[in-house]
């Protein structure tokens, strides 16, 4: 089936190209030259509004089985390829959202299709082992060639997991275990600790805490939700922990015009972090770790300077807290570097770095001192999936072979420059364009306008996402080129020119 799909894709690529012909005022920038692609469509092609009739009927059917309140539309993944997502009604959209930022090199990339059909990989796809107790004999080798080949600075250990939430959840556990062993001076708990933990009491279940930031998103499991502060819908009705929440800098744009104000804002937030650490220690709930995103994604694409993160890292070290950098959405190359924290320019960025999404598997890198002291302390049945390491190895080969991080930097500059121009052209609609690589965002004047723009742009053939209170976020694949950026900007300009 996989080989026949690849064959059909290559056949389709030989058909005459379709050309974009959207009406209205055009975006001013010249369209970049577009090379011939072996596996990608030429442009969006819309047949119905989205969702179309088939998607609506499928939504009705699924609604009889499970909740469909979040379903946008149904997709035809077999027909999707490259930067283009095809829905169940045959609408073809330029996808700048990519499954909530989780598609690394586009849909049905030939390198991944080839990996599926390679006989030497069949066992990895057919058999999913319980990695914590019965890993396959080639597992160390596969980790070295995939995850460890792009490990953050100073880290030689990685713990695989299945998704972003369980990656962070177990990273929190690792920080708590590390903190208590450091406090005891030994990894041997007392008899009182052993007995009390079984009834959810101290000292075995200690009152430790994780410091997080307002606007942060780290997952939807119970521990992660205690550090997630992006949307009410995630947290409502769910019990949580009494853990400290610090303000994240709210920078003013353009950055070069607000240097003094932004520096003062970051200093205020750092001072608040230290105050909270002291306050929670006095409350008898010491901060075992600090968790932060290099760019707050779900919470509204909120940025801070490298100086802020370096000073935050130093505060964690000063107070004996583990420092956890959550790269679930920012990792994998979308900012122009493989890890967003590389932009900080420090050789000791973190104690733990978690990942998922574009990495295709979940997990976290960590310093040696955070290795669990016993088996089964950081554990679940699967602890990842070896087949995802096969795919990740191929993704990394494509990134290196095609210099995709350089491509991200180039296309990101075109995208961000276009957003600057559009917000200047439509200041009553757009503001605060910002980004790093293709990890970009722009604010609409309010949430209603933002949501309407997303729908109108989707009906013209471009899929975007929202975040925060009123932001539009851009999360294209790493194969997003300059001409894709121009294609989007032309369509978005048409939408804006028609918007009142």
Give residue-wise pLDDT tens across range 250-275.
999 999 999 999 999 999 999 999 99
Reported confidence tier of residue 474, pLDDT bands at 50, 70, 90: very high
Locus of tokens 């890993």: 135
Could you tell me the strand order of the sheet in which 462-463 lies?
A: 84-86, 92-95, 462-463
Residue 457: its H or E element: helix 447-459
The answer to whether 95 touches 83, Cβ cutoff 8 Å, is yes
Reported confidence tier of residue 500, pLDDT bands at 50, 70, 90: confident
Of residues 39, 21, 40, the one with CA closest to residue 31: 21
Of residues 431, 424, 445, 422, the one with CA closest to residue 496: 422
Task: Give the single-character DSSP code of 257.
Answer: G
Catalytic site residues? 217, 326, 357, 381
- CATH number belonging to the domain at 119-401, selected among 3.30.2130.10, 2.60.40.1840, 3.20.10.10, 3.40.640.10: 3.40.640.10
The answer to whether 325 touches 352, Cβ cutoff 8 Å, is yes
Q: Measured in whole angstroms, how far is the alpha carbon of residue 297 from the centre of its chain?
A: 7
Q: List helix spans (H) across 13-156.
A: 53-63, 98-101, 110-117, 122-126, 139-145
| Mean pLDDT value across residues 188-210 | 97
The answer to whether 74 touches 55, Cβ cutoff 8 Å, is yes
pLDDT over 90 for what percent of the chain? 91
| Mean pLDDT value across residues 193-206 | 97
End-to-end CA distance of the chain: 48
**Residue 53 is encoded by which pair of tokens?**
């009739």
HEC profile of 261-277: HHHHHHHHHHHHHHHHH
C-alpha to C-alpha distances, 480 to 255, 301, 314, 414, 437, nearest whole angstrom:
26, 19, 36, 11, 11
pLDDT of residue 20: 33
Give residue-wise pLDDT tens across range 327-355.
999 999 999 999 999 999 999 999 999 99
**Residue 148 is encoded by which pair of tokens?**
């460890």
Of residues 396, 334, 371, 377, the one with CA closest to residue 143: 396
pLDDT of residue 37: 57
């Amino acid at each position: 089936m996989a080989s026949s799909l690849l064959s059909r894709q290559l056949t389709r690529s030989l058909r005459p190209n379709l050309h974009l012909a959207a009406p209205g005022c055009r975006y001013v920038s010249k369209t970049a030259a577009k090379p011939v692609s072996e596996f990608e469509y030429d442009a969006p092609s819309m047949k119905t509004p989205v969702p179309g009739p088939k998607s609506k009927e499928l939504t009705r059917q699924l609604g009889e089985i499970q909740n469909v309140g979040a379903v946008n539309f149904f997709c035809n993944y077999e027909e999707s390829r490259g930067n283009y997502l095809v829905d169940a009604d045959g609408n073809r959209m330029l996808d700048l959202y990519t499954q909530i930022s989780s598609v690394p090199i586009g849909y049905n990339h030939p390198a991944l299709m080839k990996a599926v059909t390679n006989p030497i990989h069949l066992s990895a796809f057919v058999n999913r082992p319980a990695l914590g107790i019965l890993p396959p004999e080639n597992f160390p080798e596969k980790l070295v060639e995939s995850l460890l080949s792009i490990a953050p600075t100073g880290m030689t250990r990685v713990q695989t997991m299945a998704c972003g939430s369980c990656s962070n959840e177990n990273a929190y556990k690792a920080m708590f275990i590390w903190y208590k062993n450091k406090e005891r001076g030994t990894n041997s708990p007392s008899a009182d600790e052993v007995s009390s933990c079984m009834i959810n009491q101290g000292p075995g279940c200690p009152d430790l805490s994780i410091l997080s930031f307002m606007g942060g998103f780290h997952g939807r499991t119970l521990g992660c939700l205690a550090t997630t502060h992006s949307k009410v819908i995630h947290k409502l009705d769910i019990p949580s922990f009494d853990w400290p929440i610090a303000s994240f800098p709210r920078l003013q744009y353009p950055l070069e015009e607000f240097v003094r104000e932004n520096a003062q804002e970051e200093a205020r937030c750092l001072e608040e972090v230290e105050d909270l650490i002291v306050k929670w220690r006095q409350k008898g709930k010491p901060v075992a770790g600090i968790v932060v995103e290099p760019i707050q994604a779900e919470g509204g694409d909120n940025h801070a300077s490298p100086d802020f993160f370096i000073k935050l890292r130093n505060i964690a070290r000063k107070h004996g807290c583990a420092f956890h950098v959550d790269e679930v959405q920012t990792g994998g190359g979308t900012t122009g570097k493989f890890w967003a924290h590389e932009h900080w320019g420090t050789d000791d960025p973190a104690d733990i770095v978690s990942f998922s999404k574009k990495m295709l598997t979940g997990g976290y890198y960590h310093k040696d001192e955070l290795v669990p002291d016993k088996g089964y302390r950081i554990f679940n049945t699967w602890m990842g999936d070896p087949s995802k390491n096969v795919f990740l190895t191929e993704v990394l080969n494509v990134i290196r072979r095609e210099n995709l991080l350089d491509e991200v930097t180039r296309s990101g500059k075109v995208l961000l420059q276009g957003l600057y121009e559009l917000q200047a052209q439509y200041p009553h609609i757009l503001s605060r364009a910002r980004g790093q690589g293709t990890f970009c965002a722009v604010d609409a004047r309010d949430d209603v306008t933002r949501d309407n723009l997303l729908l109108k742009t989707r009906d013209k053939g471009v899929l975007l996402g929202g975040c925060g209170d009123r932001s539009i976020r851009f999360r294209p694949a790493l194969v997003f080129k300059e001409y894709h950026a121009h294609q989007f900007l032309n369509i978005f300009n048409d939408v804006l020119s028609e918007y009142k």
